[in-house]
Amino acid sequence: MQKNARSVKKSPKLLLPPRPSKHYKPQTASGARVEFRRGIKGTDNILFDGKPQIAFVGRSNVGKSSTINAILGAVVARTSSTPGKTQEINFFEVGGKGYFVDLPGYGYAKMTDDAQEKIRKHILWYISGGEAKPKLLVLILDARVGVTEHDRELIRVAREEGHSLLLIANKIDKLSGNDRPKVMAKLVDEFPDADIIQFSAAKKENVTLVRKMLFDVLGVK
């Protein structure tokens, strides 16, 4: 993880073991109230009110929305049966302290090249625009698939911009006990400067650990 003024406390490299309306304000299982604040697209202004932001990004169909929902303990981020359908950047205020920012999924093969490029530019606009730099960038990966070239580009840009980075290997429950350490070791070998956590949104594996890490970044008790 790169050192910068917004760096979070260094953690171990590898840690083992209904659609809501836009006015939905759930008291979540995590104990924090969550409120949808804004969805932006095109040339809309980034939401910036001085509160810290944690941005979630990942390839379509890696379970990004499910990961956000598991961490918050409520269904707030929209999941879709059609990958690539959601193209807004959505801001969810957590405990009144800061934001979980849900960036569009990228790399869906059935989308046109123009549509994929539009999403790519929208994500890079948020990450490198300078208007509201996130305190932490959370990249969701499918543990079965590994890292794609789209992921590598995003990691490269994150490093250039000095963002703190957390890699979450989701769907780890889909791997056998023998395959898990091999997959995680490969990630650690390729990205020695990033924090990496194996995770399962479906089975809630390491949800409590990740929740505490991210809530600490936002100052949510």
Residue 152 resides in a domain: yes
Residue 5 lies in a domain: no
- Per-residue tokens: 135: 């305190």
Q: Report the CATH number at residue 43.
A: 3.40.50.300
- In angstroms and rounded to an integer, the radius of gyration of the C-alpha atoms of the chain is 16
CA distance 167 to 188: 10
What pLDDT, on a 0 to 100 scale, did the predictor assign at position 212?
A: 95
Q: pTM score, two decimals? A: 0.83
Tell me if 55 is assigned to some domain: yes
Residue 2 lies in a domain: no
Is residue 192 a part of any domain in this protein?
A: yes
Q: What is the model's pLDDT at position 100?
A: 97
Instruction: Please check whether residue 123 is in contact with residue 90, taking contact to mean a CB–CB distance below 8 angstroms.
Output: no
> Would you give per-residue pLDDT tens digits along the chain (221 residues)?
444 544 444 444 554 433 444 444 444 667 889 999 988 876 667 788 889 999 999 998 899 999 999 999 988 987 655 555 567 899 999 999 999 999 998 877 566 778 778 888 888 888 887 666 899 999 999 999 999 998 999 999 999 999 999 999 999 999 998 999 999 999 999 999 889 999 999 999 999 999 999 999 999 98
Residue 101 near residue 135, CB atoms below 8 Å: no
- Supply angle C-alpha 156, 158, 162, rounded to 5: 120
- Count of domains in the chain? 1
The one-character DSSP state at 27 is B
DSSP characters for 174-196?
GS-TTHHHHHHHHHHHH-TTSEE
Q: Is residue 133 part of a domain?
A: yes
In a domain, 33, yes or no: yes
In a domain, 108, yes or no: yes
Domain residue limits at 163: 25-218
The enclosing H or E element of 149 equals helix 149-161
Instruction: Find where tokens 């990958």 sit.
Output: 83
Sign of CA dihedral 25, 28, 34, 40: negative
